[in-house]
Each structure stands twice: as C-alpha cells, then as structure tokens.
Amino acid sequence: MTAEGIILVTGGSRGIGAATATLLAEQGRNVVIVDISPEPLVNTQTILWPAPFDVASESAVVGGIADIEAAHGPITGLVNAAGVFGKMHRIERVRMDQWDREVNIDLRGTFLVARSVGVKMAERRHGAIVNVASVAGMTSGPIHAYTAAKAGVIQITQTLAAEWGRSGVRVNAVSPGFTRTVALEAGIDSGALNKKWLESPTAMNRLVEPIEVAQAIAWLLSPLSSGVTGINLPVDAGYIAGTTWAAYGGLPETSGA
C-alpha cells in the first residue's frame, strides 16, 4: 500500500471499525469511515462519509463507493468491519427474518463491498483488503446465522485472494475472539453474557481489546505483510487453543518453576 489513495473502513463509527480507523489515522493514513448510522470519531483525523452506508444494499454500495472515490480519491485499502452479532437461540426458535438480516449484513455485505472496491483495485493492480470474520466462524455456538455468515466470510476471503492475487490485490481476514467492545460490555452488564465464561476458555484468561484487533488489521494492510494473502488470522487471546482443554481438566493457572 502506498501513501496515495484512501483506506475505507466500513462500520467505522463504533467497535472494532472505530478502533481500526483511529489507529490507521494515527499512522498517517488517509481514512474514510462509513456506517449505517454515521457518527464522527472525535479527536481523530478520520473523514466521516455523512450518508448512511448500507452494506447489504447493492445499489447503495456501488453508488456509495463511486461517490467516495470521486470525492476522496482511489481506495487502496479496505477494512470490512460492518456487521451485526447474532441472536442466541435454540435452533427451533431461530426466526428466518433474523437469519436473513445477519447473513445479509455479515456475509452479503462483506462480499458486496469487497467486490465493488476490489474490482477497481484489480484494474489499478494495487490494493489490500481485510475482512473482519470471527472465531465464531471457526467453531460452533447457538448463534446459528452468525456462525454461518462468518464462516462464509473466511471462505470468500480465500476465494477473492485467489481471484485477484495476480492483479496485485491482497485479501485477508482477521477473526476476533470475544472483544471488549461497547456492545459486548452491554451484553455483560445486562446478564446476557457471562464475563467469566467468555474469559476462562482462553489461554490468556482475558477478553481481547479492540486495539489488538486493529493492530493486526493495520499489519495486514501494510507493506510488512506484502507476501501474505488468503489467510485468516485469529486474534482471540488463545480462545481456539484453550477451549478443548476442559476435556483434560482445564487450563493450568501457571506453568514452569
């Protein structure tokens, strides 16, 4: 990625998107954020696209990308962070309108934005895309549409990396574990989520911080990862590594002398 052009961050007004946009701006990147409910990031050099940006609408995405590039220049980096978390239900209670909403935003939206931006990158023979997936897409849980959608994000990341690799475009994904966002904290405060249960399966016995995910995304956008494409990088405090240890009596509190 060169200094020219902009980095577009979807879902950039909150959560992991906001943390990533803030970090990239601090690194001197030209960052434009879009969101379905656009709000500026105070005390940052990010540029807010003021119109609501619906990633699940093909016409809104295609038109929005064209307008953004006309106003701010070519998009050389993309962070697909827009998404919604799943409803936790037994499978017989899953409503198909909820399923459709989650899949439309998390999977269809990721694909639509990646395609709209990536085709232009391929024509210019330069660019990097990072899709935000989830460890939920690598495991199982009672968030049926969300796990399916995020698994799909991991798959399309590999496919797009192969599609555009010889055109100079890199496509990667990050899969955050349970991350201390405002939304997650609200779930804990309401009693819908149990903080101990979220932390205890992880090797590091803690939640992930949004800045930690942002740092991984920034690396995947940067020349430091110039030989990396088609990967899915978990940023999960060791959630995947630690979950199976319950079968063996649990994780050790400490190791060594």
CA angle 18, 20, 24 (to 5 degrees): 120
Query: Tokens for 146?
Result: 């969300």
Question: Under CATH, which architecture does the 6-248 domain have?
Answer: 3-Layer(aba) Sandwich (3.40)
Q: Give the model's pLDDT for residue 42.
A: 94
| Cα(7)–Cα(20) distance, integer angstroms | 11
CA 39: distance to chain centroid? 18
Q: What is the pTM of this model?
A: 0.94
Q: Give the model's pLDDT for residue 256.
A: 64
Is position 146 annotated as part of the catalytic site? Answer: yes
Q: What is the pLDDT of residues 105-127, one digit of tens each?
A: 999 999 999 999 999 999 999 99
| Percentage with pLDDT > 90 across the chain | 84
Q: Indicate which residue of 53, 146, 164, 178 is catalytic.
A: 146
Counting as low any pLDDT under 50, the low residues of the chain are 1-3
